[in-house]
Amino acid sequence: MRRYSVFALAREGFRQHSGWDRAWSSPAPKSRYDVVVVGAGGHGLATAYYLGKNFGITNVAVIEKGWLGGGNTGRNTTIIRSNYLQDPSAAIYEKARSLYEDLSQDLNYNVMFSPRGVMMLAQTPHEVRGYKRTAEANALQGVETEFIGPERVKELCPIIHIEGPRYPVLGALWQPRGGTARHDAVAWGYARACTAMGMDIIEQCEVKGVHSANGHVTGVETTKGTIGCDKLAIVVAGHSSVLAQMAGFRLPIESMPLQALVSEPIKPCMDVVVMANTVHGYMSQSDKGEMVIGGGTDSYNAYTQRGSFHHIEETVRALIETFPIISRLKMLRQWGGIVDMTGDRSPILSKTPLGNCFVNCGWGTGGFKAIPGSGWAMAELVAKGEPGPLAAAFGLDRFREGRFIDESVAAGVAH
């Protein structure tokens, strides 16, 4: 595959852009692969990429029932941060954030990582205490983050109404190197890099069953026929329980819709990401000028990719209180994704009761930020058959042993 560069741009400019290669191929499946990854979202593609890059395993297929990146990866609000409370979380999210810093160079694909800073507002005394605690924990973990007062909040984001009547802003947890990236580009960039290593990305191919013999996986049944494999990585976010059922085990996961919406584009008015967890809403401004808005999940299990209207109402109500200038904005689009929620709000990277079958799921409302780190850790788990240091704490056994990685306090809302 030819590299993208300023010279390639100039060359193609002189010949009507007729010489670009397809970024990824979507071939017919072979009968067998060393590793089959189910799910071509960011996590599945990153798993495949680091299997090739870090372990030299390139006889890999990534199987996707729809189109590449059409799951939560292409539906999320792209907030990237790593200031979590617990050590194992900070380690894997910070690994991911630091990989994002030069992901565009690594993949030779512009993922538009924009470390514009992420601010999590503290609007109750309880939140102030919680975020100060997180800031101290982050200092010990080596994650750059700080607790800032309301004046600094106003300085960084002038459109915030600091003295709101219900929930005045008392401060914020501020991560200056957090930010956003272009979600599709992350999926496309990994897909292109996987194709360049000779991997197959097979779209419009749904996995319908898992084959096994003597307690070990032997392949998958798909809408494009049987595909054999030595190892299987299930990376399907909201559909994890459905795949687990095919593989014969249960997961501590419930799937729920999470929605987002964007406004009409307006002039630049906000160059940081703001999350307001107490009132349930967060907002950033895209490069096109749209205000990108998200809130909380629905409260009951569903696979409808739509979500309930009253959740949007709640989110918008909360944000108008915090940002009065958006009260007359028209909303352009709304959509939903199906997020995979665990009890401790932490992900699962794990071996499973079925031999040579591994799962990566449970990222819930906040896994976009984790894609590079998760793929890195998952590749190690799949290649070696045992988790490395990043994945070790996230095994399924933690539920039986009571070793939860409780992030439900640190991240009270979707993010």
Partner 1 sequence: MLTLTCPHCGVQADETELSAGGEAHLKRFGPGSSEEELEGYLFARENPKGPHFERWRHAYGCGKWFLAARDTATNQVFGTYPASEAQPADTLRDLVTASRPGWMWRDFGGEA
Ligand X SMILES: Cc1cc2nc3c(=O)[nH]c(=O)nc-3n(C[C@H](O)[C@H](O)[C@H](O)COP(=O)(O)OP(=O)(O)OC[C@H]3O[C@@H](n4cnc5c(N)ncnc54)[C@H](O)[C@@H]3O)c2cc1C
Candidate residues 5, 8, 129, 309; the one interacting with partner 1 per rule CB under 8 A:
309
- When asked if residue 92 is in the footprint of ligand X (CB under 6 A), the reply is no
CA separation, residue 71 to residues 67, 249, 338, 376 (Å): 8, 23, 8, 20
- When asked if residue 259 is in the footprint of ligand X (CB under 6 A), the reply is yes
H-assigned helices in 142-182: 150-156
Query: Binds 78, which of ligand X, partner 1, none (CB < 5 to 8 A, cut-off by type)?
Result: ligand X
Residue among 77 and 134 whose Cβ is closer to ligand X: 77
Burial call 116-150: b when 16+ CB within 10 Å, e when fewer: bbbbbbbbeeebbebbeebbebbeebebebebbeb
Say if residues 137 and 129 touch (Cβ distance below 8 Å). no
- When asked if residue 72 is in the footprint of ligand X (CB under 6 A), the reply is yes
- When asked if residue 294 is in the footprint of ligand X (CB under 6 A), the reply is yes
Beta bridge partners of 262: 292, 333
Say if residues 268 and 285 touch (Cβ distance below 8 Å). yes
CA dist 334 and 134 (Å) reads: 32
Minimum distance of partner 1 from residue 396's CB (angstroms): 9
Query: Binds 302, which of ligand X, partner 1, none (CB < 5 to 8 A, cut-off by type)?
Result: partner 1
Cα angle 143, 145, 146; round to 5:
145
Query: Binds 294, which of partner 1, ligand X, none (CB < 5 to 8 A, cut-off by type)?
Result: ligand X
List binders of ligand X among 22-51 (CB under 6 A): 38-44
**With CB under 6 A as the contact rule, which of the stretches 14-22, 71-79, 315-323, 351-359 interacts with ligand X?**
71-79
CA dist 224 and 60 (Å) reads: 16
The candidate with the shortest Cα–Cα distance to 239, out of 39, 96, 44, is 39
Pair of tokens at residue 100: 């994002």
Strands 60-63 and 200-202: parallel
- When asked if residue 400 is in the footprint of partner 1 (CB under 8 A), the reply is yes
Query: Binds 237, which of partner 1, ligand X, none (CB < 5 to 8 A, cut-off by type)?
Result: ligand X
**With CB under 8 A as the contact rule, which of the stretches 19-27, 55-63, 307-315, 321-329 interacts with partner 1?**
307-315
- Helix or strand or coil: residue 254? strand
Candidate residues 22, 267, 310, 330; the one interacting with partner 1 per rule CB under 8 A:
310
The candidate with the shortest Cα–Cα distance to 23, out of 38, 47, 6, 1, is 1
Minimum distance of ligand X from residue 389's CB (angstroms): 21
- When asked if residue 303 is in the footprint of partner 1 (CB under 8 A), the reply is yes
Minimum distance of ligand X from residue 24's CB (angstroms): 14
- When asked if residue 241 is in the footprint of partner 1 (CB under 8 A), the reply is yes
Residue among 265 and 353 whose Cβ is closer to partner 1: 353
> Cα(first)–Cα(last) distance of the chain, in Å?
35
Candidate residues 143, 169, 235, 262; the one interacting with ligand X per rule CB under 6 A:
235
- When asked if residue 7 is in the footprint of partner 1 (CB under 8 A), the reply is no
**With CB under 8 A as the contact rule, which of the stretches 191-199, 265-273, 282-290, 295-303 interacts with partner 1?**
295-303
- When asked if residue 354 is in the footprint of ligand X (CB under 6 A), the reply is no
Candidate residues 33, 35, 61, 75; the one interacting with ligand X per rule CB under 6 A:
75
> How is 200-237 classified by DSSP, letter by letter?
EEE-S--EEEEEEETTEEEEEEETTEEEEEEEEEE--G
Pair of tokens at residue 122: 């503290």
CA dist 415 and 336 (Å) reads: 14
- When asked if residue 254 is in the footprint of partner 1 (CB under 8 A), the reply is yes
Query: Binds 362, which of ligand X, partner 1, none (CB < 5 to 8 A, cut-off by type)?
Result: none
Say if residues 173 and 145 touch (Cβ distance below 8 Å). yes
Residue among 15 and 310 whose Cβ is closer to partner 1: 310
Say if residues 54 and 380 touch (Cβ distance below 8 Å). yes
Residue among 4 and 253 whose Cβ is closer to ligand X: 253
Q: Which residues bind ligand X (CB under 6 A)?
A: 38-44, 63-66, 70-73, 75-79, 206-207, 235-237, 239, 243, 258-260, 294, 337, 339, 363, 365-369, 415
Q: Which residues bind partner 1 (CB under 8 A)?
A: 239, 241-242, 245, 250-255, 299-304, 308-310, 343, 399-400
